[in-house]
Structure formats: C-alpha cells, structure tokens
Amino acid sequence: MKRITVAAAVLAALGAAGCAKVVSPSDNQVETLIGTVYVGAGGTGHNFTVKAPGEYKLTITSLTPPPPNPNTYTVAAQFGSGSNCSGVVEPPRSGLIGSMLLGGPIGAGDYCIIILNPGWFTVNESYTARLEHP
C-alpha cells in the first residue's frame, strides 16, 4: 500500500511540474523582423519571448540590394538566450534566402536572434525575415 501511495505522489508531482502544453507549429506566432547587416559587423538583435514549449523557425525572406544570384547567396543567423543574446543556443548557420535558416524545438524563455554577415557581403544589406515561435 505504501508503494502505491509513493508512486501516485511521484506521478502527480511530475504531472504538475513539467508538462506545459506544447504549442503546435500551426498555432505559432509570426513576427516580421527587419534590420540591416553591416559590412564587417553583425546586425540588429531581435528579442522574443516563448511562453510555452514548441518549435521555432526563422526564414530570411529578402535582402536589399538583391544579391547577384539569390539562389546561391547565403546569410547567417545566431540564436541566443536572454534579451541580450549573451548565451549562444545555436551557433551561426548559413542558408539560402527563402529557406529555413534556423529552427527546431524550443522551450519557454527569453531569446534573441541576430542576422549576421557570413563574410562575403560587400555592401550593407537590409533584410526582412519571418520568425515563427510559440
């Protein structure tokens, strides 16, 4: 009888503590991020808050001026924790314009994304990006 009581208490505690409802990607918030990546430097940090676990996705939708060949031109982004991007959650990645640059599972908390110069921008590039998150 004592084992059943202890097991029930443990299960109840686990259920109450860690099972926040996971947000379906179809219910994500969508934010438009606008900024500039400067030659020889990073870009603007974009802060966002995730209120429940789920998945996030970052897509760069445009660069201005347009790159010479948008099908092979890449940008980079870094995903950090906190409102000041201090802790790197995911290192910089490069990807094609219009395709997912960063994404995956995410827990509740404060985060920051910085769009970066991957090293081959010869002029300042203005960007628009789409961020989806719970």
In sequence order, the β-bridge partners of residue 128 are 34, 62
Q: Is the pLDDT of residue 128 over 90?
A: yes
> Which of 16-25, 27-36, 63-72, 88-97 bottoms out in mean pLDDT, i.e. has the lowest?
16-25
pLDDT top residue among 6 and 74:
74
Q: How do residues 33-86 score in pLDDT, each as one tens digit?
A: 999 988 877 677 888 999 999 999 999 899 899 876 665 556 667 777 766 676
Question: What is the helix (H) or strand (E) element at residue 133, kind and residue range?
Answer: strand 125-133
CA gap 70, 90 in Å, rounded = 25
**Can you point out the beta strands (E) in 2-124?**
29-37, 42-50, 54-64, 74-81, 87-96, 100-106, 109-116
What's the mean pLDDT in 7-11?
A: 35
Asked if residues 87 and 80 have their Cβ atoms less than 8 Å apart, the reply is yes
Domains in the chain, CATH or no CATH each = 23-133 (2.60.120.380)
